[in-house]
Amino acid sequence: MAVDVVAPMPGTIAEILVEVGDEVKADEEIIILEAMKMENPIVAPSDGVVKEIKVEEEDKVDTNQVLVVLE
């Protein structure tokens, strides 16, 4: 079952810490989102494998925009 990891707030993708095919554990940092001049870690909500990365570094994103799909 696929799990969408979404942006909790609008901001800019500062760093992507995973690649497609990587196995991640729950609460592992997968993306750094810069918002309001702060770097906010976005973590995996559950264990899984990175199926798709829907953003690139320096992309501007909106609240609830899908960043990564885990399977």
pLDDT at 54: 98
Write the CA distances from 70 to 19, 35, 37, 61, integer angstroms.
Answer: 11, 23, 28, 18
- Pair 17, 29: CB distance under 8 Å: yes
pLDDT digits (tens, 9 = 90+) for 17-46: 999 999 999 999 999 999 989 999 999 999
pLDDT digits (tens, 9 = 90+) for 4-19: 999 999 999 999 999 9
pTM recorded for the entire structure: 0.94
Q: CA-to-CA distance for 26 and 43, rounded, in angstroms?
A: 7
Asked if residue 1 has pLDDT above 90, the reply is no
Q: Average pLDDT of 54-70?
A: 98
Which domains does the chain possess?
A: 3-70 (2.40.50.100)
